[in-house]
Amino acid sequence: MSNPNQLPRVLIVDESRMVRAMIIRHIRDLYDFREEADGEAAWQVLVLDHSIELVICSLSLPVLDGDSLLVRVRSSRLVRLCQMPMLMIAGDNDEAIERAKSHGASDFISRSTGGAELLARIDSLLKLAQAQNQLKENIEQHVQNPETGIFTRKYIELQAVQAMSHAMRHNSEVSAIVMGFDNVGTLREEHGVDVLKQLQQRFISMLSNKIRKEDSLGHYIGSQLVVISPGTSFAACESFGNRLREAIRVANISVHGQRLNLSVSIGVSNTPADGVSSAGALIELAGSRLKTAQQNGGNQVIACNAPASSQAQVPASVPTLERAIALIRSGEEKAVRPFLPELGSQLLPLLKLMDKELSLGLPLDVLQKRVVAGQQTAASEGDPAAKLEEPPKRID
């Protein structure tokens, strides 16, 4: 509480004025209080009055009964409300008490409960709530790095475990992206630790704005960062890495009027592509690829047993459309050209739908004839990729 001299505030909700007066008489020396006669009015007070720490509430109320109020409180998106101690006034109806327990009642008293017992129940619930809040704060300190505001390495590993468990149940995939500035030692020596920290914070801000809500961003080693991305293919992560790498390369960041020559390297790993089954192995593999990229000169992305993106080779078989787009975006059109007829065949249904719905006026007949001709030419030249009966399957 902001005022240490302010007594803890209790909301008393009961239709009977006499019951409310009796409870107030028991608690007024130790607690501040507010009273309401129906559940709906109590709900409005709870939403607006942030000083309330505990509710004493009858199960039998007009307008909105005690059970319904319990459900609203426990299902609230406001942490302050969903964790509010709820001391319910109940009679001898065991069924009603069990129902209230299932809805999240913290404890029960009767209208005949004496003052000493009432105060003991209130004190116990408030102390428990305080202990739970303290535990939550301690957990959050281990979850987030206080300097950067992003997840710790330990918590990222837990996020990866959960993501991989979910992926196994739903036949999906998980990718890890580990990234870091190249030549960190030189940057530290030439510009100091504070500049390096500022660069890292700007990098974190950039990443936070680019990743999805379901992705997890955290620390890896030193100034290096890691992203756990559920349901994302390695090709999409590689493409993301190359866009990020290029954005850093062309960024105009200066220190004391001197433009910094910055670059990042990135390692990507993926559960099905790399055949890894543990979260630790997934993250470590991406980290080792980052290390390889930096040892090879930096400013590179290495993904899933592929060579550095700046030295990409022609794939052995028809790439997925996502992989082909990633190669093109990274400037590797040569790696895609041998497979254009097959990729064009895959794109035709999409182009037909776009032409129909968006009235693009595409020359679809001409496109289809040229794609077929290209496939026939490739087959006649012995290109095994052109003889595939269907495009390679993806895991989504």
pLDDT per position as a tens digit, 89-112: 987 788 889 999 988 899 999 888
Q: Amino acid identity of 337?
A: R
Domain 153-311, architecture per CATH: 2-Layer Sandwich (3.30)
What tokens were used for 310? 């700046």
Average pLDDT, integer, range 229-247:
90
What is the tens place of the pLDDT at every residue in 317-340?
677 777 677 667 656 677 788 888
- Give the confidence band of 28 by pLDDT, cuts at 50, 70, 90: very high
Q: Amino acid identity of 216?
A: S
Among the residue ranges 131-145, 258-272, 320-334, 382-396, the one predicted with the least confidence is 382-396
What tokens were used for 183? 């030549």
- Show me where the domains of the chain are located: 9-142, 153-311, 324-396
CA distances from 38 to 158, 253, 287 (A): 44, 61, 59
Give dist(CA 323, CA 326) in Å, integer.
5
Which has more pLDDT, 378 or 41? 41
Domain 9-142, architecture per CATH: 3-Layer(aba) Sandwich (3.40)
Residues contacting 195, CB < 8 A, separation 6+: 187, 255
**Signed CA dihedral, 26, 29, 33, 35: sign only:** positive
Give dist(CA 299, CA 294) in Å, integer.
7
pLDDT of residue 384: 36
pLDDT of residue 54: 96
Read off the pTM. 0.47
